[in-house]
């Protein structure tokens, strides 16, 4: 399971919707099926049944994740099946701690299925024959399914992104360290494991393992990027990102005066003041609407929004962002009744770009420092 906002459904085959979750099959999954079909023995019917069982096992794995996310109030919007598992698009990004439980739920589901099927097999064949059919599973579909679910569980628990094990590791580390350190450490371990897997695959001739390792290696980088957005917002106060140079309108101004200001400045939203006191907010849309309906001579006080969004300067950007998108793109940063600044989606976007560049150059400097240290 990976959670990425940017995964789109290109290159996938839509399969259907299960419990409100739309399921897509990535084309690489189809390739895996073809490879398995040619490398496994049995009649076409047996092969077909085995494929179906494999597919259901992967779906069950994803359902395990989805049910656990649901418990934490996070909804799975879409699942895309890759050969190494599914990629779930979630309604919101879970914290690393929740991720620990959500990521363990998938492999646990496969383990449970394997245990249940083993019990059925023991019931059917007895202990000795069950053990024997697990050693030579080719003859028996049920034994193949037991092994497939066990390997799905173990494989997904490898401590590397985008495998569940990588996320579980990050969640586990975040119990003891800051989320950022946990991410960084888990990411390093993940890349190391990927390189090790790739080498083992090359030398032992398991080329499929090498392919998986490459996927894991690049998956780690992608997953890190998804986390970056959250890192950029985390711990930043509204006052650090707000616009501090702006114009206000006196409450006696007309819509015509406001329109002149809209043209003369790059500002879109104007706080309306009466003396020192803020009485409302006139957004570009309200201004234009009022202009069209009532003409330029009406007073801004009649058109402005009195129930504008107030943000305390020390509140966090992470919390302000959803409020901002609900309120129509502008909030007033106020310390009590004193207006300190404006927070708009445009200046927030600029702030994030600047911060990202800042973080990356710091990161580069740090990496340089580390390589110097190693020399
Ligand atoms: Zn998973």
Closest CA relative to residue 13, chosen from 97, 75, 81: 81
**Ligand 1 centroid vs 207 CA: distance in angstroms?**
22
Which of 185-194, 230-239, 356-365 is least confident?
A: 356-365
**Stretch 338-345: mean pLDDT, rounded?**
88
Average pLDDT over residues 170-198: 83
Please give the average per-residue pLDDT across 242-271, as a whole number.
Answer: 89
Burial classification of residue 30, based on how many CB atoms lie within 10 Å of its CB (0-12 exposed, 13-18 middle, 19 or more buried): middle
Cα-to-centroid distance, 113 and ligand 1 (Å)? 15
Please tell me the distance from the alpha carbon of residue 95 to that of residue 310, in angstroms, as a whole number: 27
**Exposure of 2 in the CB half-sphere (CA atoms within 13 A):** 28
- With beta carbons less than 8 A apart as the criterion, state whether 238 and 315 touch: yes
**What is the 3-state secondary structure of 287-306?**
HHHHHHHHCCCCEHHHHCEC
Cβ(175)–Cβ(101) below 8 Å: no
Q: What is the pLDDT of residue 99?
A: 86
End-to-end CA distance of the chain: 38
The DSSP-derived string for 156-182 is: HTSSSTTSHHHHHHHHHHTTTS-HHHH
Which among 120, 148, 128, 122 has a CA at the least distance from the CA of 36? Answer: 148
Give the model's pLDDT for residue 38. 65
Q: What is the DSSP string of 3-66?
A: B-SS---TTEEEEEEETTEEEEEEHHHHHHHHHHHHHS-S-HHHHHHHHHHHHHHHHHHHHHHH
- The kind and range of the H/E element at 81 are strand 76-82
Q: How far is the CA of 52 from the centre of ligand 1 (A)?
A: 18
The CA 26 to ligand 1 mean position distance, Å, reads: 15
- Encoded tokens for 48: 């077909």
Q: Which one has a higher pLDDT value, 271 or 79?
A: 271
Say whether the peptide bond before residue 162 is cis (omega within 30 degrees of 0): yes
Q: How far is the CA of 152 from the centre of ligand 1 (A)?
A: 9
Q: Which CATH superfamily is domain 239-351 in?
A: CBS-domain (3.10.580.10)
In the reported structure, the alpha carbon of residue 221 is separated from the centroid of ligand 1 by a whole-number distance in angstroms of 18
Cα distance between residue 137 and residue 144, in whole Å: 5
What is the distance in A from the centroid of ligand 1 to the CA of 59? 10
Provide the pLDDT for residue 253.
Answer: 92
Distance 329 CA to ligand 1 centre (A): 36
Domain boundaries, the chain: 12-233, 239-351
Are the beta carbons of 19 and 64 closer than 8 angstroms?
no
Angle between helices 44-71 and 141-156 in degrees, nearest 10: 40
Tell me how far the alpha carbon of residue 89 lies from the centroid of ligand 1, in angstroms.
12
Q: How far is the CA of 209 from the centre of ligand 1 (A)?
A: 18
What pLDDT is recorded for position 365?
64
What is the chain's mean pLDDT, rounded? 78
C-beta separation of 74 from 94 below 8 A = yes
Other C-beta atoms within 10 Å of 233: how many? Answer: 19
Higher-pLDDT residue of 286, 272: 272
Position with higher pLDDT, 5 vs 103: 103
């Amino acid at each position: 399971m990976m959670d990425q906002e940017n995964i789109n459904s290109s290159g996938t085959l839509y399969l259907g919707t299960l419990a409100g979750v739309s399921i897509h099959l990535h084309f690489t999954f189809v390739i895996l099926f073809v490879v398995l079909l040619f490398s496994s023995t049995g009649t076409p019917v047996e092969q077909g049944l085995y494929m179906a069982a494999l597919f259901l096992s992967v779906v069950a794995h994803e359902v395990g994740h989805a049910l656990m996310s649901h418990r934490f109030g996070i909804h799975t919007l879409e699942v895309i099946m890759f050969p190494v598992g599914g990629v779930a698009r979630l309604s919101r990004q879970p914290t690393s701690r929740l991720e620990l439980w959500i990521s363990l739920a998938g492999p646990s589901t496969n383990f449970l299925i394997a245990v249940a099927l083993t019990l059925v097999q023991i019931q059917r064949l007895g202990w000795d024959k069950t053990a024997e059919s697990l050693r030579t599973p080719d003859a028996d579909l049920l034994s193949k399914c037991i092994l497939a679910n066990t390997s799905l569980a173990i494989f997904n628990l490898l401590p590397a992104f985008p495998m569940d094990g990588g996320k579980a590791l990050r969640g586990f580390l975040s119990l003891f360290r800051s989320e950022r350190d946990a991410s960084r450490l888990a990411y390093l371990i993940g890349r190391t494991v990927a390189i090790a897997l790739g080498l083992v695959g090359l030398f032992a001739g398991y080329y499929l393992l090498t392919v998986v390792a490459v996927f894991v290696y690049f998956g780690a980088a992608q997953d890190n990027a998804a986390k970056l957005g959250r890192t950029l917002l985390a711990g930043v106060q509204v006052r650090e990102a707000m616009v501090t140079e702006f114009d206000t309108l006196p409450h006696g101004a007309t819509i015509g005066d406001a329109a002149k200001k809209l043209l003369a400045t790059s500002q879109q939203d104007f706080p309306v003041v009466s003396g020192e006191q803020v009485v409302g907010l006139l957004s570009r849309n309200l201004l234009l609407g009022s202009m069209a309906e009532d003409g330029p001579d009406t007073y801004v006080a009649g058109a402005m929004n009195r129930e504008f969004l107030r943000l305390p300067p020390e509140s966090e950007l992470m919390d302000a962002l959803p409020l901002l998108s609900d309120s129509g793109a502008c909030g007033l940063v106020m310390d009590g009744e004193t207006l300190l600044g404006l927070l708009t989606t445009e200046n927030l976007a600029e702030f994030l770009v600047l911060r990202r560049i800042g973080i990356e150059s710091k990161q580069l400097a740090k990496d340089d420092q580390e390589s110097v240290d190693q020399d």
